[in-house]
Amino acid sequence: MAKDVKERPFTTVSGVPIDRLYTADSITDFDYEHDLADPGDAPYTRGIYSTMYRSRPWTMRQFSGFGTAEDTNARFKYLLKNGQTGLSVAFHLPTLMGLDSDHPMSEGEVGKCGVAIDSLADMETLFDGIPLDKISTSMTTNAPAMMIWAMYLVVAEKEGVTWDKLRGTIQNDILKEYIAQKTFIYPPRPSMKLIVDTFEFGTKHVPQWNTISISGYHIREAGSTALQELAFTLYDGIEYVEWAIRAGLDVDDFAPRLSFFFNAHNDLFEEVAKYRAARKIWYKVMTERFHCKNPKSAILRFHTQTAGCSLTAQQPYNNIVRVAIQALAAVLGGTQSLHTNSLDETLALPTEQSSRIALRTQQIIANESGVTNTVDPLGGSYFVERLTLDMEKGCWEYFERLDAMGGMVSAIEKSFPQREIQDAAYDYQKAIERKEKIIVGVNDYVMEEESAIDILLIDESVTQRQFDKLNHVRTTRDNDRVNSVREELRKAAKRADGNLMPFVLDCVRAYTTLGEMCDDLRSVYGTYEEPAF
């Protein structure tokens, strides 16, 4: 074994070489006021609040959703009862793709990797008995984000909760879909218009809502390095700001509502450096590139999820330990909210028991580990400060390349980020197969016979129940009204100027299905096919 260790390169999980020892000589280019400053002070490297978790712990927000709206509503209530402090909705693939559950492409997917939402009726059930003015809700939806958000707003409207009281987030980050997760519907340019419309609408009508969660999570899951995750995500942020400014919005009107979402992988110090660098870079971007005046516009707030791609199907209980290390990284990096993955997520959606262990992992870090007693406990570590500076430097280099390509939409059209990530994913796989990276239970410490664990099975009756609900909606709503609001939506989309949000809200109020609304926009915008590369 000792021989193997010697021959293995000392690198981070992203392949960055690491020295034997870091000393004061490693950070001679470092200046406390300029590079760090105290927490709560620009450039916010050490954290966005002066007291951080001493005044309030991060929001424990477990992503969940499966089956029908009734099934997920019950899971939400279970999680809230167990001390979860925010909701996070996982939608099934047809919803993410803007298709109704009875579309031919939806076959086999209904309720499988998230909850089936076809219309306002499902959304009413999903949030039944949950006080929308007291809880914050994150919704992972991108291509049809505008429609899903409109459904949430109408549920609140019907319950008498005014929109200024609503808190939550729509992911609404289409750029990373083209780059990594591939859940796109329309081509990039009309998709960007929909997003800018939500920024504008949110600023005016839903002021506490995060209208986007600019996400590196999926970029990392697709196989990027930590640096690529950071650089592409922050540059996506730059692209959204530029599009919104070009559409006539004032940067300080929408920038305070931009939020971010990062991955937490196994390499603890590399991850901490990534979060610290993210805050510092975003501060510089907003003040130096966009000249924001409101200090809040330059503050990077982020959600973290532990790395699904790091979990193993082999010896799945070991995943609890991986998740604990990753969650610790997120906390040491100053995250605002956190999702911890469940041990069984390489096999299926989590069971109630496994999702409870995941939540308890956060509660143990918050209450037992002591790491929340002080802000940025790793600040000043020669090693962590070196990593943070290098992460920042690498980021600016990527930004230069992306600027030279004419921005992220152009870079995506040239398949640049896609290719970078694909290369990194392949290199990582090969490093594992050469045993340069050891994954416990996969390429070392393997057990010949493993006992199976119980996994969540999605009840196959979900599809039929969802079909029945959808048919009920289609036959009981006022279809003349639906036709007329849909006609207005198509006309508004063709005009290309003006905000589409009010038209979508009218469609939602009339119980137009998600598939119908998305079809209307497909008829105007067309659909996106990924170029071969």
What does the binding site for another protein look like in residue numbers (CB under 8 A)?
Answer: 93-94, 96-97, 99, 104-109, 112-113, 177, 181-183, 221-223, 309, 312-314, 346-349, 422, 425-426, 429-430, 432-433, 439, 441-443, 452, 455, 458, 529-530, 532
Smallest distance from the beta carbon of 91 to another protein, in angstroms? 12
Q: CB neighbours (10 Å) of residue 9?
A: 10
Pairing of strands 302-306, 258-264: parallel
- With a CB cutoff of 8 Å and minimum separation 6, the contacts of 206 are 153, 163, 164, 166
Other C-beta atoms closer than 10 Å to the C-beta of 409 total 21
Report the nearest approach of another protein to the CB of residue 517 (Å). Answer: 18
Beta-carbon-side half-sphere exposure of residue 218 (alpha carbons within 13 Å): 22
- Helices marked H in 108-221: 120-126, 145-158, 175-176, 188-205, 217-221
Residue 117 near residue 514, CB atoms below 8 Å: yes
Q: Which is nearer to another protein, 4 or 107 (CB)?
A: 107
Nearer to another protein, 315 or 381 (CB): 315
Phi (first) and psi of residue 191, to 5 degrees: -65, -40
- Of 226 and 500, nearer to another protein (C-beta) is 226
Rounded to a whole number of angstroms, the minimum distance from the CB of residue 143 to another protein is 11
Task: Considering the complex, state which of residue 93 and residue 241 has its C-beta at the smaller distance from another protein.
Answer: 93
In the complex, minimum distance from the CB of residue 86 to another protein, in angstroms, rounded to a whole number: 25
3-state secondary structure of 435: coil
Yes or no: say if 23 and 17 are a contact pair by the CB < 8 Å rule.
no
Judge contact between 237 and 289, C-beta under 8 A: no
**Residue 237 CB burial class (10 angstroms; 0-12, 13-18, ≥19):** buried
- Max CA-CA distance within the chain? 76
Smallest gap, in angstroms, from Cβ of residue 168 to another protein?
24
Nearer to another protein, 118 or 252 (CB): 118
Q: How far apart are CA 278 and CA 158, in angstroms?
A: 39
Q: In what order do the strands lie in the sheet with 258-264?
A: 59-60, 337-339, 302-306, 258-264, 212-215
As a whole number of Å, the end-to-end CA separation of the chain is 41
Cα 15 to the center of its chain, rounded Å: 24
Residue type, 282: W
| Angle, CA 117 vertex, CA 114 and CA 118 arms, to 5° | 145
| Cβ-based nearer residue to another protein, 107 or 478 | 107
Q: In the complex with another protein, which residue's Cβ is closer, 314 or 381?
A: 314
Length of the chain, in residues: 533
Please choose, from the candidates 245, 265, 263, 264, the residue with its C-alpha nearest in 3D space to the C-alpha of residue 255. 245
Closer residue to another protein, CB minimum distance, 169 or 183:
183
Give whichever of 45 and 172 is closer to another protein, judged by the CB atom: 172
CB closer to another protein, 128 vs 427: 427
Least distance in Å: CB of 367 to another protein?
32
128 and 73 Cβ atoms separated by less than 8 Å: yes
Closer Cβ to another protein, 85 or 346, answer by number: 346
| Percent helix / strand / coil, the chain, rounded to 5 | 55, 10, 40
Task: Tell me the closest approach of the beta carbon of residue 36 to another protein, in angstroms.
Answer: 35
Tell me the DSSP string of 500-526. SHHHHHHHHHTT--HHHHHHHHHHHH-
Measured CA to CA, the distance from residue 470 to residue 328 in angstroms comes to: 43
H helices within 178-287, ranges in order? Answer: 188-205, 217-221, 226-246, 251-254, 268-284
